[in-house]
Each structure stands twice: as structure tokens, then as C-alpha cells.
Amino acid sequence: MKKRLTHVNPVKLGTTLAVIYGIMSLIVIIPLFLIMSAVSAVGAKNGAQAMPVIFSGVFMIFLPIIYAVVGFIGGVLAALIYNLVAKWTGGVEFTTEEAQ
């Protein structure tokens, strides 16, 4: 059974991508925080200017929020552009089958 995708709700796509990007950022930020903390500790031990731990903590809190906002904006823009292009091209055609 062929179906055609001719319209995407921008806010729904933006919201979905915001959640996806937020989750993806957690996968990135946790190891990054651990690396930044280790580098800061090693630097402080060697007499170098240490990166403040508070910066690492604030960064860890705000990065998922920033990722989510960027995901939302990107999703809304992608949906708006898709909807415009779908009017010219007829949209994406795909095949589905009934689930059992």
C-alpha cells in the first residue's frame, strides 16, 4: 500500500526532535563532564590554571537544554521547508503494510 507524506506539523516535529536532541546530549555530556573534571584535576596538580569545577557543572546542566532548543528550532525549520517543497514535488512516497 503506497502512501504519500504531504504535510508535517512543524511544532510536533520540533517537539519530537527537542526530546531526541536532549537525550542525545546526555549521552555526550556525561563522558565530557568526566573528561573535563579529570583534565582540570591533572592541570591543577601540575600547577596549571585549572578549569573551575563550577564551569563543568553549569556546562553539564545547560548543554542538554541548548541541544533541545536547537533540536526544536531545527525541527520546525525542517518541517516548514519540507511542507513548502512537498507542494512542488508532491511529497515523499513510501510503502506501508498492515501490522498483524
Predicted TM-score of the model (pTM): 0.67
pLDDT attached to residue 53: 57
User: Is 97 inside a domain boundary?
Assistant: no
100 — pLDDT class (breaks 50, 70, 90): confident
10 — pLDDT class (breaks 50, 70, 90): very high
User: Is 65 inside a domain boundary?
Assistant: yes
User: Is 51 inside a domain boundary?
Assistant: yes
* pLDDT, tens digit, 9 for 90 and up, residues 40-77: 766 666 665 655 655 666 777 788 888 899 999 999 99
Distances (CA, A) of 87 to 9, 11, 60, 71, 81: 14, 19, 42, 24, 10
User: Is 40 inside a domain boundary?
Assistant: yes
User: Is 99 inside a domain boundary?
Assistant: no
Domain membership of residue 86 as a residue range: 2-91
82 — pLDDT class (breaks 50, 70, 90): very high
Rounded Cα–Cα distance for residues 88 and 60 (Å)? 43
User: Is 100 inside a domain boundary?
Assistant: no
Rounded Cα–Cα distance for residues 41 and 3 (Å)? 57
> Strands, DSSP E only, in 9-97?
92-95
User: Is 82 inside a domain boundary?
Assistant: yes
Distances (CA, A) of 60 to 11, 13, 43, 68: 27, 25, 20, 13
Residue type, 2: K
If one counts the domains in the chain, the total is 1
